[in-house]
Amino acid sequence: MNLSPQEYDSLVRQMAPRSPLGKNVALAFAAGGAICCLGQAIRDGWAAAGLGADDAATATSVTLVFLSALLTGLGLYHKIARHAGAGTLVPITGFANAVASPAIDFRAEGLITGTAVKLFTVAGPVIVFGTAASAVYGVILWALSAVGG
């Protein structure tokens, strides 16, 4: 059977199951909202414990990163993400999961050649391009302020 790329693409589209887009969007929205509500509750808890606004925000970030890494290590984050989908990509928890997951997956290869090497497999490009983008943005902002813009 010889198929052209267009015929093959058409056949794949016909045979592939339809994605439940509405359900996926609703689940992602609910899961992301729940994570954000949890973050707000944690922040309120830190504030009630006597921390100032800035310190409570910092403690909340640290707590969310810790909880995300803990759930990743226990294998629960993946199970939650399987049902919640993109909602678990809320920036701070998703990033912590992206850092912790490869490190855990490759721990059998050893501390240096496994965990340490693979730690930033997924998160590394995010850090590199985020840093590069902020540098470019900074140069543009500086140039605009230099010309009076």
Instruction: For 96-113, write each residue's pLDDT tens digit.
Output: 888 787 777 776 676 666
pTM over 0.85: no
Distance (Å) of CA 7 to CA 12, 66, 73:
9, 49, 44
pLDDT for residue 43: 97
Q: What whole-number distance in Å separates Cα of residue 52 and Cα of residue 20?
A: 44
pLDDT for residue 63: 96
Residue segments in the chain with a per-residue pLDDT below the cut of 50: none
Q: What whole-number distance in Å separates Cα of residue 149 and Cα of residue 142?
A: 10
pLDDT for residue 107: 66
Angle at 62 between CA 57 and CA 66, to 5 degrees: 145
pLDDT for residue 45: 96
Only one residue has tokens 């925000």, namely 57
